[in-house]
Structure 1
Amino acid sequence: MSAVRPLTRGNFEVRFLTVAEVASIMRVSKMTVYRLVHSGDLSAMRVGRSYRVPERAVQEYLRESYLGETQSPTGTA
């Protein structure tokens, strides 16, 4: 048997997380993650009956959410 490895694409790896893992990272409920996925705020792909979220999508969502609250409309703090 072979070990499961992250998908390599160019110079970076694509690592997928389950909804439960995303919820744990973000410290929210799984339902909140499902809402983010269904609203299009968080990118995900469907695998069978479950979703997988690219780790990078979680990082980008958190960065945009965090920076979005601290910046003024003119772009200055």
Structure 2
Amino acid sequence: MSAEQRFLTLADVAEVLNVTVRQVYALVRSGDLRGIQIGGRGQWRVEHDQLEDYIQRQYAKAEQTLAEDDGGQDTDDSHDVEESGSTTDDDVNV
């Protein structure tokens, strides 16, 4: 992916977000991630800026969720993270 590339394919977006192309397509179709259809076959493209906006919205949403769940108190959420430090598939909400 070039630094100057304005539009990304759904496969490019999937690679950035580390999800499947099908999940990206669902995000676009739902309106959560803005995209456009181009060409005679209606191929989807997502503008780089739109992807960055989506990522920032997801960070804000995660922070709000954590703040609501935490209630301002420290809790032990270690059960949500595997020993490797990565989250489990159950933690992903796409």
TM-score (norm 2): 0.59
How many angstroms does 1:68 deviate by? Answer: 1.2
Cα deviation 1:10-61 (Å, max 9, x = unaligned): xxxx810000000000000000000000001111110122111000111010
Count of matched residue positions in the alignment of Structure 1 and Structure 2: 62
Q: Which has the larger radius of gyration?
A: 2
More helix per residue: 2
Q: What residue identity is the alignment partner of 2:11?
A: A
| Percent sequence identity over aligned pairs | 37
Report the RMSD for the aligned CA atoms in angstroms: 1.9
Structure 2 partner of 1:67:
60
Which consecutive aligned stretches of 4+ in structure 1 deviate over 6 angstroms post-superposition?
Answer: none
TM-score (norm 1): 0.72
More strand by share: 1
Per the alignment, residue 23 of structure 2 pairs with: 32
The aligned runs of 1:1-77 (5 Å cut-off) are 15-48=6-39, 49=41, 50-71=43-64, 72=67
